Amino acid sequence: MLKLVKFIFILILIGVINSSADHPKLHDKRSQANFLLNFPQSYYLTDINPASLSLSTIENLTVLNDPEINFVWLQYLVERGEYNKARFLWSRIPSEIPSEKLNEFVDLLVMQQRWQEIARLAEHVYSSDRLDVLLAMQSGVNANKLTKAQLNYFAINTLPDRLNFASECKNSVLLLADHFSAYQHLKRLRAQYIQNPEPEENSFCLSKVFYLGNTLDCKQGFKGFASCNINTALPETDFYILMTKNGLANVRESQMTLTLKSDINVMVHELMHFSGFEDEYPIYGQKAKWLCNSEGLKAPNLFVGTAEQAPVGWVKAKTCQNGILDAYKPSPKWSKMQFQELPLSEQYRQLWQKKIHQDWLFEEQNVAKSTSSIIN
């Protein structure tokens, strides 16, 4: 009897859809919404594309628990950052999603840096090489294990044999990343720096960002500083910037290590370290012992000794408060070498420019002497 009632209801519903002036395909969005609200099951008797329906209509149709409706609703929630609501839908979406729609959704999640959701998506849809490669790169898979076609999914650059920089470049810098998020973040920092180079154009010429994966062997090391060991041959360059997940940004000789928390202010601060600038906040341990135990100009922004010996106008800095002697800096104001988030002052910009030009001339003279020796 119940089956007969359902059959009669479906016949009546078909008749309503075929004859009614409220047919969802024949009128505006409001008519569609009202009709589907009253007759949600009619969705199955039409060929309406769920993606064309309004948000409120899709929400009303979720009572059907239909995979296609659920997927469109999931997209809406993710676009609006409502991840808590979305978490119940991952297992209810179609296992087979057209590649174009799937790629668009994956790209949205990548833009939002929602890796937990990307992993959930991978659990509930049929395997996709593009999605598998993305997760592999996020885990830091070695670049050598990926094909050129797989790298092209996300326009990933891999390390060339040699780099080419403009002849006007004072310092060449190679950019390397150990996983996908690091690659994307370093690309953003590079774009920001190129838009506003410090201390002036051609001071530091940045290469493209190259993906190396776990070949960089990065970890959080001594006192929480990020540390990377490069386990491959690199093309010749003056400096390296390495991007990884965790730890404190730092510079060790010609190598800078940044993390996902590093912004452009941190990067510029660390570039100043490449030019020999010292921190103006208190330093500790062995560094305080060797930096603060003898008199002299130790950096473009730091003199160690007494107030009488310091350059005119320089004031006491906090750098050596844990050392034997005092330290002095060029300005009484806070600087970028004390607080990274501060803008670069014109005074420090000029000091930085002067140091870069001095180093450049010194290097050019050495090259000229070396060339002369070979000729003679």
| pLDDT for res 254 | 95
Tens digits of per-residue pLDDT, 357-375? 999 998 877 766 665 555 5
Tens digits of per-residue pLDDT, 315-355? 999 999 999 999 999 999 999 999 999 999 999 999 999 99
- CB 172 within 8 Å of CB 239: yes
Tens digits of per-residue pLDDT, 52-73? 888 888 888 888 999 999 999 9
Residue 154 tokens read as: 């996300």
| pLDDT for res 2 | 36
Determine the Cα–Cα distance for residues 232 and 190; give it in Å rounded to an integer: 23
Outline where 240-345 has alpha helix (H): 264-274, 285-291
Three-state secondary-structure class, residue 210: strand
Determine the Cα–Cα distance for residues 317 and 235; give it in Å rounded to an integer: 39
Q: How far apart are the first and last CA of the chain?
A: 109
Determine the Cα–Cα distance for residues 249 and 311; give it in Å rounded to an integer: 31
Contacts of residue 355, Cβ cutoff 8 Å, sequence gap at least 6: 275, 276, 277, 300
| pLDDT for res 310 | 96
Q: Nearest to residue 272, comparing CAs of 175, 328, 226, 338?
A: 338
Tens digits of per-residue pLDDT, 189-229? 999 999 999 999 999 999 999 999 999 999 998 788 999 99
Determine the Cα–Cα distance for residues 320 and 29; give it in Å rounded to an integer: 70
Tens digits of per-residue pLDDT, 76-94? 999 999 999 999 999 999 9
Determine the Cα–Cα distance for residues 247 and 346; give it in Å rounded to an integer: 31
- Asked whether the predicted pLDDT for residue 244 surpasses 80, the reply is yes
| pLDDT for res 4 | 42
What pTM was estimated for this model as a whole?
0.86
| Res. 5 pLDDT band, cuts 50 70 90 | very low
- Asked whether the predicted pLDDT for residue 12 surpasses 60, the reply is no
Contacts of residue 291, Cβ cutoff 8 Å, sequence gap at least 6: 278, 283, 298, 304, 319, 320, 323
| pLDDT for res 47 | 74
- CB 255 within 8 Å of CB 240: yes
Three-state secondary-structure class, residue 296: strand
| pLDDT for res 19 | 44
